[in-house]
Structure 1
Amino acid sequence: MTSCPIPTGRGLSPAQFPDPARDLAPASGEQVAVIAGGCFWCTEAVYRVVDGVIDVVPGYAGGTAETADYKTVCTGRTDHAEAILIRYDAGRTSYGQLLKLFFSVAHDPTHLNRQGNDVGRQYRSAIFFANDEEKAVAEAYIAQLEAAGAYTAPIVTTLEPLTAFYEAEDYHHDYAARNPYQPYIAHVSRPKVDKLKAYFPERLKKA
């Protein structure tokens, strides 16, 4: 991993991103969302501080179990994406609100198969939907953002059925928190979290 910068080429600032006009029906209890937006160190760091998020698990979505390991995925020759599985309390946050943060601060959805200098299909922008309703919410929000001119380039996020999620190796878990002075974390992951704190302080977990 080399670089996955804060999104550029915006038409709107993060604070101007609209709330999703369509969301999952109100629910309570634990739910799961799976998204991919470049390196999972970055996306995991963002969602770990979001109120209503119970846990974040880095891993690989797409592809097969036989190639679901970091060394093989990094070759770019598998169909995996570096992804995170978000366990969240649906009574405190929603699927649509998680998508809002995904598009507004967590990554750049206009970059095809890359985030910054991280290049390859494994770094693609993707939403792995578990059912038709999740797919519909994601489709509707992408259309809403494009209509609002959120970005000056087309959103290239793919919508893919969630067939399996393979948990990443132990050393990837909570990597940013455990390695705060590692250059990549200091210069790439931390600024994303700082942007979340600056634009959406009301979405943060209470100290």
Structure 2
Amino acid sequence: MRSVSYLGFGGVLVLAMVAASSAVGASAEAFVDAPQPSVTAPVSGKTETAVFAGGCFWGVEGVFDHVKGVASATSGYAGGRAGAATYEEVSTGTTGHAEAVRVIFDPARVSYADLLRVYFSVVADPTTLNAQGPDHGSQYRTALFPQSAAQERVARAYLQQLTASHIFSRPIVTRIEHADHFYPAEGYHQNFMAKNPTYPYIVINDAPKVDALRRMMPRLYRS
């Protein structure tokens, strides 16, 4: 399980990961070429917001940062109450929050359906309950937080499509959830992958996801 500690030194915040050397980065259903969604939503404006939970938010944010048409990706918490939206509390697995990422995107360049395909292909393993790679706990669950009725319609249709396709060898456990608010995570979590490309957790668990996006979906990938 990923854990972080905070050490102040000369005004600089230092992150350290404590992980077993035997931790496995890729899960059983890693990097599945999910089908093109059969249901999409009409373009409704210049920008749209989507929220995804798919395990540690470092990698989720890191992948979506490399998708064409994404204006920003922000790590944070969704599903629980405001007072519990801190890393220390969410890490207990008792707050109802999931580590999540808010994606702001241009629907004329990349659709919500496209983002779902990226999510299910390379971001998260939708067949593991409350676990992703080496991380375990309800805060690491896979969940979609639709921000509109149109998004929910597309998400439900795509989950049905994926189930019918039998592309995954095990049942999909990703849930559609509703949350009133998204709470941005602490500053040291933002852009963590971009700022720390050689961090062991990133190298083992998250960099392969970005590489898979580049290889599998070159139309959507940006460096």
Query: Match for residue 185 of structure 2?
Result: 168
Q: Does 1:177 align with 2:194?
A: yes
Identity over aligned pairs, percent: 41
Report the CA distance between 1:129 and its aligned residue: 1.2
Report the CA distance between 1:130 and its aligned residue: 1.9
TM-score when normalising by structure 1? 0.93
CA distance in 2 between partners of 1:40 and 1:26 (Å): 27
Matches within 5 A, 1:9-88: 9=29, 14-15=32-33, 17-88=34-105
CA distance in 1 between partners of 2:184 and 2:160 (Å): 31
Query: Match for residue 109 of structure 1?
Result: 126
CA distance in 1 between partners of 2:24 and 2:124 (Å): 8
Counterpart of 2:82, as a letter, is A
Report the CA distance between 1:40 and its aligned residue: 0.1
Q: 1:14·1:105 contact (CA, 8 Å) conserved in 2?
A: yes
> Which of 1 and 2 has greater Rg?
2
Larger relative contact order (Cα-Cα within 8 Å, sequence gap ≥ 6): 1
Query: CA-to-partner distance for each residue in 1:161-187, whole Å, 9 max, x for gaps?
Result: 131100000000000110111100111
Counterpart of 1:69, as a letter, is T
Report the CA distance between 1:25 and its aligned residue: 1.2
Over aligned residue pairs, what C-alpha RMSD do you find?
A: 1.5
Counterpart of 2:68, as a letter, is D
Q: Higher helix proportion, which one?
A: 1
Query: Match for residue 8 of structure 1?
Result: 28
Query: Match for residue 198 of structure 1?
Result: 215
CA distance in 2 between partners of 1:191 and 1:46 (Å): 10
Report the CA distance between 1:7 and its aligned residue: 4.4
Matches within 5 A, 1:113-132: 113-132=130-149
Report the CA distance between 1:23 and its aligned residue: 1.2
Q: 1:60·1:83 contact (CA, 8 Å) conserved in 2?
A: yes
Any unmatched runs of 5+ in structure 2? 3-18
Counterpart of 1:14, as a letter, is V
CA distance in 1 between partners of 2:179 and 2:46 (Å): 21
Report the CA distance between 1:4 and its aligned residue: 7.5
CA distance in 1 between partners of 2:154 and 2:131 (Å): 24
CA distance in 2 between partners of 1:8 and 1:122 (Å): 20
Runs in 1 of length 4+ with deviation above 4 angstroms?
none
Counterpart of 1:54, as a letter, is A
